[in-house]
């Protein structure tokens, strides 16, 4: 096969377990590569090579490169930047694709600055121009408009892809697997402990189900109800901004214009009024369920299902009903 372009994909994992969004990025890279005679190389920085290499190939990689070091078990920004730059300098790459997760966004911004190359973050659509160049669409102005991105200048051009948007099934494919140990700068014990703590929670931007609460939840103690519902469904808990401003939830939970943008399959808005700044972060969810005591709440205008009622009473009922269905 003659290869015209090389696309690098960074696989993201949490304590060795591959994040689903990485498979989406691989699929998207594969679709582009098929249109531009491209080769897809998946970079997996991990503490050890794992058995998922075949999966990466099925989702689109032509080659999987495991770069291993004990300090790569968790995402540590400095290590990833060091290792990725080292790999990118070894040969020439046309495109670098990453998930638009917190880690992926951070990594793409720093690599872009260090290499002096262009970056398109949070892309929701990719295509190939007549000239054979990759183009991207990304939302701007809180999702009110879309920006069409064309790259020029130094390569690799960097794209981070929004989670839950580029899903494709695996294919039966062949590929090559390469494993190598790499050297990294020494890390302090304190950094290792901090990274372990942060890495244990499901990131709301990647969750396929998000259960969010607003001021209508009345107090921080009632978020336990949302945690229980999210726990039964395998989802993550989100929050509106005043909830975060009140200190009821951590900022990493905030959904909206000044928080995170989520596109899950299912979004529960519990006691959330539906202000435009909140909608900016969740209106692209595939199915929205709103629970609000005010039948005129704005959130019902974007909801697929609406329940008018007290969220404190409705949420435990939903949790029980889902539990019955899931365990039956």
Q: Single out the segment in contact with ligand FAD by CB under 6 A; choices: 84-92, 127-135, 159-167, 271-279.
A: 271-279
List, in sequence order, every residue forming a beta bridge with 258; answer none if it has no partner: none
Q: How far is CA 193 from CA 22, 70, 98, 187, 236, in A?
A: 25, 14, 25, 11, 23
For residues 61 and 204, the answer to whether their CB atoms sit within 8 Å is: no
Q: Is 306 in the site for ligand FAD (CB under 6 A)?
A: no
Give the tokens for residue 125.
């659509």
Q: Which of 160, 273, 285, 319 binds ligand FAD (CB under 6 A)?
A: 273
Partners of residue 41 on adjacent β-strands: 8, 63
Among 124, 182, 187, 275, binds ligand FAD (CB under 6 A): 275
Binding-residue total with ligand FAD (CB under 6 A):
28
Residue 284 in contact with ligand FAD, rule: CB under 6 A: no
Which CB atom, from 6 or from 239, has the smaller least distance to ligand FAD?
Answer: 239
Say whether 127 sits in a helix, a strand or coil.
strand
Q: Does 220 bind ligand FAD (CB under 6 A)?
A: no
Q: Does 302 bind ligand FAD (CB under 6 A)?
A: no
Residue 131: burial class (beta carbons within 10 Å; 0-12, 13-18, 19+): exposed
**Interaction with ligand FAD in 43-72: which residues (CB under 6 A)?**
none
Tell me: does residue 272 bind ligand FAD (CB under 6 A): yes
- What tokens does 143 get? 């999702």
Closest CA to 43 of 182, 149, 136: 182
Q: Output helix, strand, coil percentages for the chain, rounded to the nearest 5.
A: 35, 25, 40
Instruction: For residue 246, give both structure tokens.
Output: 């009140």
Binding-site string for ligand FAD from residue 250 to residue 269, where x marks contact by CB under 6 A and - marks none: ----xxxxxx----------
Query: Binding to ligand FAD by residue 106, rule CB under 6 A?
Result: no
Closest approach of ligand FAD to the CB of residue 259, in Å: 4
Measured distance CA(218)–CA(200) in Å, rounded: 27
User: Min. distance of Cβ 39 from ligand FAD in angstroms?
Assistant: 40
Angle (nearest 5°) at CA 227 between 222 and 230 = 135
235 binds ligand FAD (CB under 6 A): no
Confirm or reject binding of residue 277 to ligand FAD (CB under 6 A). Answer: yes
Write out the residues near ligand FAD by the rule CB under 6 A. Answer: 214-216, 240-243, 254-259, 271-273, 275, 277-278, 281, 291-294, 297, 310-312
């Amino acid at each position: 096969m003659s290869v015209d372009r090389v696309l690098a994909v960074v696989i993201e994992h949490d304590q060795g377990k591959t994040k689903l969004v990485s498979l989406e990025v691989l699929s998207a890279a594969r679709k582009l590569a098929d249109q531009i005679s491209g080769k897809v190389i998946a970079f997996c920085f991990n503490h050890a090579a794992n058995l998922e290499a075949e999966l990466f190939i099925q989702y689109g990689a032509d080659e999987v490169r495991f770069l291993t070091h004990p300090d790569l078990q968790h995402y540590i920004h400095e290590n990833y930047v060091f290792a990725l730059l080292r790999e990118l300098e070894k040969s020439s790459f046309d495109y670098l694709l990453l998930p638009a997760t917190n880690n992926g966004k951070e990594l793409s911004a720093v690599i872009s600055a260090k290499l002096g190359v262009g970056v398109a973050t949070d892309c929701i659509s990719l295509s190939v121009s007549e000239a054979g160049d990759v183009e991207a669409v990304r939302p701007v102005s809180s999702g009110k408009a879309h920006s069409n991105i064309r790259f020029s200048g130094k390569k690799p051009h960097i794209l981070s892809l929004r989670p839950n948007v580029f899903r494709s099934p695996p294919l039966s494919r062949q590929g090559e697997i390469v494993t190598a140990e790499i050297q990294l700068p020494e890390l302090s014990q304190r950094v290792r402990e901090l990274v372990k703590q942060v890495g244990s929670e499901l990131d709301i931007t990647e969750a396929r189900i998000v259960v969010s609460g607003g001021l209508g939840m009345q107090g921080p103690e009632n978020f336990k109800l949302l945690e229980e519902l999210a726990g039964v469904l395998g989802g993550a808990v989100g929050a509106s901004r005043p909830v975060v401003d009140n200190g009821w939830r951590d900022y990493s939970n905030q959904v909206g214009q000044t928080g995170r943008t989520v596109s899950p399959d299912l979004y529960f808005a519990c006691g959330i009024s539906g202000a435009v700044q909140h909608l900016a972060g969740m209106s692209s969810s595939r199915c929205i369920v709103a629970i609000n005591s005010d039948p005129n709440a704005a959130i019902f205008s974007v909801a697929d299902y609406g329940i008018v009622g007290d969220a404190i009473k409705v949420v435990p009922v939903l949790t029980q009903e889902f539990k019955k269905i899931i365990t039956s």
